[in-house]
Every structure is written in C-alpha cells, then in structure tokens.
Amino acid sequence: MSNWFQILREQLQLPNIAADGTDVPFGITGIAPEAWHVAGIESAGNSEHVVTASTGDGAEVRWHMRFFADTRAVECWGTLTNRGSRPLQNLSECLTWDLDLLLQPAFGEPWVRQVNGVQFLANFFPPHDFAIVDRQLLKTPQVYAPLAIMAGEGGRPSDGHLPCAIICEESRSHGIALFLEWSGLWRMSLTQETREVNDPDTPWPVRLQAGLWGLALHLQPGQSLPLPRVLLTAFDGDLDDGGNALRRHIRRHVMPSLGGEEILPPATFNHWFAFSNDYSDQSLRPAVDASAAAGLEYFCVDGGWFAGDFRDGIGNWSEGDPKKFPNGIAPFAEYVRAKGLKYGTWFEPEWANKDSEIYRDHPDWFWETPERPPVMRPAFPFQHPEFALINLGLPEVRQWWLDRIVRAYDEWGVRWIRWDYNQDPRSNWEQGVPVGEIGWRQIQHVQGLYQVLDDILDACPELFIEQCASGGHRIELGTVRRGHSFWMNDHTTHSAIIRALQHGLNTVLPGNYANTNICQQRHDFTTYDYLSHAAGGFGYSGKLWEAPAADFERYRAAVADYKAYRELLLGDYQRPTGQPSSPDEYAQVIFSDGGRSVTMEFNAGSPGSASLSMD
C-alpha cells in the first residue's frame, strides 16, 4: 500500500476525516512542501510503517507510524537528514504533522479543547493553570491566524499550554486527540480554509501542524534534525472521551513501570514546607516518625541537603552538607528505612551555580546565562545569570549524572528523586550563537535529557522519578514517558485552587501525574481539605509531628482511605459538573476502572463540605 493516510485511516478507524496520502504528512519550514517526493512506504513489522521522502537537493525524511490497536492510537516521529552536498538553508521548524485534514460534511464545525499550562503562583479562582478551554472552528470568509497552542517563549514546554489538543466533531460523537513529546519549544495549530457561511457542504480543509520551533539553522551535509514524537488517538464520543483516550494510551503504553509493576499514585512526606533550608538529621527525625505512623510510603528530603543551601548551592552534588548531616546522609536514610519508609531526595541536574563544585571542575560543560537576557518576563523572571545550564548533549555529562544518581540509589538507598528545573533555558540555548546554528543547543539539550532519564530508569528500576520544574513547567509526553509523577504546581496554600488544579490535569493525564502536598501550616484539616488534595498524589509537607492527636488521627484515616481507592485514579475520568467558576460551587468528579468507581463531591450541602463514595 503506497498511501500512508489510507493505512492510518484503516488502523485508527477514522470517520469523516480524509487527507491526500500522496502528499507528505510532515513539514520542514524552509523547504517548500511541493519539493517533497514520497519515495516509498515500508513495513517495519505488523505495527510500524516508515514513509521515506526526499527532495532534489538532498533533503531526506524518514517518518514513522507505530500503531497501537488496543488504544486506536498511532505515535509518529521522524528524522530529517541532509544527503546532499550543500547546506539546507534557513530551516526554522520541524513539524511532525503538517497537512490538510479534509473534514467531511458530517464532521461539521469542530470543537477543539486545549489545556492551559502553568503561570507561577497565580493566586486566583478559577485558576489559570490546567484550565480547560473549548473553542469551535467556524466557517468564515476571514481567516488570518490559526488556533494556536504553544509552549511559552522561555523554553520550558508547559509555560504556555500543555502540548495536547482534542478535536471533536460538531455533534461531539467522534474525534482525534494529540499529545506532543518535546521538552523545549513546540507548537500545534489548526487553520481552517476560508469559507462563506452558506457554502455548499463539501470537504473542508483544516490544516493541522505540530512540531518543534525556535530554529535558525543551516543543515550541513550529513547532519540530521528530529521531528518530535506525536501521539494521535481516535475516539468515539465527546471531548471528555478524547481526554480519556489519551489517559488510556498513556497508562498502557507511555507511563513507566516501577519495579516492574504499574505505578500507583504515591503517599509521601516532603520536608520543604515545614523546614525550608533550616534542618538537620536530628530535626528531621520527628517528621520521619510521624510520617511512618500516618501510613505514608516515602520520606523525601527536598532542596538544601548539599553545601550552600537551596538554590545557591546547586552544583555541590558530591556529598551532603556536613552541618546538616554530620555523619553523612546514609545513616539518616537508614533511619528512614528502619521506620518502614523509602528515602527520597531532590536534584536539579541541569543547572549549577557558577561557584559550585561541578561548575568549577567542568566549566566547559555549561552554557552561560546572559547578564540580561534579550527579553525578560514581566513577572517572575526565571532567569538568573549566576546559574549556568549544563550541556546534556555531551556524553560525559550524561555519564556523570547517571553515575551520581546510581551512587545515591546504591549508597543512600534513594528510591525517589524530585528532578527540578528552575530556570528558562532559551537564553542559554541562543546566547552568542550565530544565525545558522540557532537550535542545535535546544535539540542537544532535549535529546540528552531523554537519554539520561532513559539510562537512569534502566539502571534504577525501583526509583520513582517526580518531574518538577518550578511546579509543572515541564509537562509533555517525553517527561510523562520518563517520570512517574509531576510536582504539578507550586501553589500549595488554598484547598479549592489545588482541587481545581488536580481536576484540570486529570483531563488528559492519569491521576498519578497530579502530585501535590498538604503544605498549610495548620492542623485542623477537614475532609474537604483532604479530598481537595487527593485526586492525584497525596502528600504532606507540614509539621505533622506537632499535630494534636485528634487531628493526626484524621489525617492517618485519610491516608488509609486514599490507599483504598487510589488505583482507580488511573482509570477513566468524568467531571459531570464541569469546571467550577467559584470555590464554593458544587463540583463532582468520578474515576472508574474495572467495574469499580470512586466519586468525590464538593460543596454539596454547604460550602466547604465534601464526601467520597465507592461503588
């Protein structure tokens, strides 16, 4: 079969969507679409096909489709290689998808769902972060701009939006959903062809684009560029069903295992909001004792375990701070394990203070942060010149970090790491780089990140990796594939906001990815507070050991209740009441899997009330 779209349509059972399968499905901005010629389609087994296309001046793309019959899904990716004798000039984007979807009359005017990314500590309701935004593409004679879904311009992938979209028929009975894998600058867009409102019903071209941007490259002979992996899944039903189609595929085919088993949403203690940088081996032990008594599973020492405290000390990774751990970290970690808990800790591998051990030893491993980046954020800048970005494209850097994590895994018994990423990298990627070379650093960084995380997961099969990035600024399919959870947001102080964040993120990701902690410095928490934190990871980061007996017992009971239903958070997700517009509005969410379900209700009888029921 020589028509790639016919293969895709048959595999996914796509209704009411067509495309010209003799055209290429991808786009390289800088190479004219009409220059491409499809040389052939080869089968790489029952589930994978490879489209090869080339141009007359030596550009070649190998574009892969891997199908998953159980989820009606395909993952597509590719590689552009310059096989010619001259540079391919002025390349600015590598789009894995760049084609006209021919929407049949029955598809109507489609609905499109996007999910907002993260703003740092936006304290209002309804929150911006993880809010669902639904729009309808209309037939109109005026079309000047696409419906665009994009990363933020600083380089962290979920600053703007989450890299996903759900597209549904006007009747909300069928559709497709996409999720992109790129931990840098990416974009998706839909651009409808202009139409008069009363045009006859004929196929309606809507251009779909999805891939990476931020390049100003001249691709030299023999060099290659990636077309990032994009998940596309077909579904029957409405936009919510599209979200569940993504959740199911991610659960079955993307989410990493833990010790060979499916991950469960975790119950954890994190020291940070109780102690900040002011702690020691001895001051932490009452928190360890309380965590064990409450039934938690991990005890995590966050930032500051190294010399210099958080954040000035990042890069001092060799040993623990002797002022905090005079006997070293290993004896404290053994105390944690003796209480029945697993030990966890924090790293920020990609950044280092320029006055730290790793920077002084290896300054050639780093890309500098300019004293004043060309563009500063209007709010919190996330750009600090005293910190430099490590080049994960270097094999020796990846080996160094693999060895460091394995040493913590073996010597300290670390079974959890929070992998943080607290600055925008784009200025480091582009500072001092001439036109013609801009983009290589981004590509080296992202591909190096994926490689080192893959190596760590292989070497440490029982290590739980929590992706962080200032709380939710790096959520994309690549970190979903290489992490067991996200510290989803740094907002920790208002139960209604946290509830809305968890419920929003569950729209497209299984519940294990929506990790948060109870961080408020009080103890009189109610069922409302607990359930507002319990649609994902259920952690604590306060002075639990100081809680009065009755308050402590309520929390211990909440942990036990959570463990009884948490596996259902991986199943299908319903939000019958939609997004609440005020904190006191009635809200209901339902998780179901294998014939069982759990329902959470909020504000049903009065503001601040909550209940949980299981079937």
Is the pLDDT at 201 greater than 90, yes or no?
Answer: no
> How does DSSP assign 280-328, residue by residue?
-HHHHHHHHHHHHHHT--EEEE-TT-STT-TTTTTT--SS--TTT-TT-
What is the pLDDT at residue 225?
Answer: 98
Report helix, strand or coil for 46.
coil
Between 78 and 193, the more confident residue is 78
| Four-point Cα dihedral 101, 104, 109, 113, nearest 10 | -50
Is the pLDDT at 376 greater than 60, yes or no?
Answer: no
Is the pLDDT at 375 greater than 70, yes or no?
Answer: no
What is the pLDDT at residue 46?
Answer: 82
Return left, alpha or beta for 217; rule: phi > 0 is left, psi -120 to 50 is alpha, else beta.
beta
Q: What is the mean pLDDT of residues 403-424?
A: 98
What is the pLDDT at residue 563?
Answer: 98
Q: Are 161 and 112 in contact (CB under 8 A)?
A: no
Q: What is the mean pLDDT of residues 410-417?
A: 98
Q: What is the DSSP letter of 161?
A: B
What is the pLDDT at residue 178?
Answer: 98
Q: Are 369 and 383 in contact (CB under 8 A)?
A: yes
Per residue in 173-190, pLDDT (tens digit) is: 999 999 999 999 999 999
- Distance (Å, whole) CA 495 – CA 531: 9
The band of 374, judged by pLDDT with boundaries at 50, 70 and 90, is low
> How does DSSP assign 248-265, residue by residue?
HHIIIIISPPBTTB----
> CA–CA distance from 36 to each of 51, 52, 88, 527 (Å)?
12, 10, 14, 60
Q: What is the mean pLDDT of residues 577-590?
A: 97
Per residue in 453-507, pLDDT (tens digit) is: 999 999 999 999 999 999 999 999 999 999 999 999 999 989 999 999 999 999 9
pTM score, whole prediction: 0.97
Q: What is the mean pLDDT of residues 271-300?
A: 98
Residue-range domains of the chain with CATH: 4-254 (2.70.98.60)
What is the pLDDT at residue 197?
Answer: 72
Q: What is the DSSP letter of 370?
A: P
Q: What is the mean pLDDT of residues 90-112?
A: 96
Q: Which residues contact 32 (CB under 8 A, 6 or more apart)?
A: none
Is the pLDDT at 143 greater than 90, yes or no?
Answer: no
Q: Which is it for strands 464-467 and 485-487: parallel, antiparallel or unpaired?
A: parallel
The band of 372, judged by pLDDT with boundaries at 50, 70 and 90, is confident
| Four-point Cα dihedral 519, 523, 524, 526, nearest 10 | 50
| C-alpha neighbours within 13 Å on the C-beta side of residue 455 | 18
Between 541 and 144, the more confident residue is 541
Is the pLDDT at 64 greater than 60, yes or no?
Answer: yes
Beta bridge partners of 425: none
What is the pLDDT at residue 348?
Answer: 98
What is the pLDDT at residue 380?
Answer: 59
Is the pLDDT at 5 greater than 80, yes or no?
Answer: yes
What is the pLDDT at residue 285?
Answer: 98
- Distance (Å, whole) CA 155 – CA 438: 13
Backbone angles phi, psi at 61, to 5 degrees: -120, 135
> CA–CA distance from 173 to each of 102, 107, 242, 573 (Å)?
17, 9, 10, 18
What is the pLDDT at residue 377?
Answer: 58
Q: What is the distance between the terminal CA atoms of the chain, rounded to a whole angstrom?
A: 48
Q: Are 583 and 496 in contact (CB under 8 A)?
A: yes
The band of 381, judged by pLDDT with boundaries at 50, 70 and 90, is low
Q: What is the mean pLDDT of residues 3-32?
A: 95
56 CB burial (10 A radius; 0-12, 13-18, 19+): exposed
Q: Are 499 and 573 in contact (CB under 8 A)?
A: no
